[in-house]
Amino acid sequence: MGEKRTVVVRQLCEKRFSASNESGETVIVDGGSPAVSLRPMELLLAALGGCTAYDVVDIMKKKRTPLAHYRVEVTGKRAEQHPRRYTHIHVVHVGGGEGVTEKQFAQAVRLSHEKFCSASANLNAEITWEVRLEDAPDAGA
């Protein structure tokens, strides 16, 4: 059985939430207006960008041609009808460094997108759900 991860999302105010992992790291998820943090669908793009960037940096380091500078630009086009999923996502990898060739860089990017990036693989995943009612937590909990 594979590794299991849990994230808990708590409402802070109307459409603003905190999402925390098991280690306690937290990110604000914002649906408010005006937003003070990334919106949920922007976080999805950020997760994809971060995941593929992690892979590319690791692959280039293993090739002994680490990137001296690097960024990933992720643009998503959403459907007009609900659930307004992303119908197309375009990822641009921009980077370079001493000894880095376009061929090596392109190979690292291809490997990330086709083999290693878990976020990318999950964009077409089956999603299941359940409903569980719970009383408000105790103030001391």
Report the helix count and the strand count for the chain, using DSSP H and E: 3, 5
Task: Record the pTM.
Answer: 0.84
**Amino acid 112: pLDDT:** 93
140 DSSP 8-state letter: T
Q: 3-55, pLDDT tens digit by residue? A: 899 999 999 999 999 999 999 999 999 998 888 999 999 999 999 999 999 99
pLDDT confidence tier of residue 136, bands split at 50, 70 and 90 = very low
Residue range 92-114: average pLDDT?
90
- Would you list the domain boundaries of the chain? 1-37, 39-122
- Read off the pLDDT of residues 64-99 as tens digits, 9 standing for 90 and up: 999 988 999 999 999 899 989 888 899 999 998 888
CB 96 within 8 A of CB 69: yes
Q: Quick check: 138 pLDDT over 80?
A: no
DSSP 73: E
Q: CA 102, 105, 109, 114: dihedral to nearest 10 degrees?
A: 80
Domain with residues 39-122, CATH architecture: 2-Layer Sandwich (3.30)
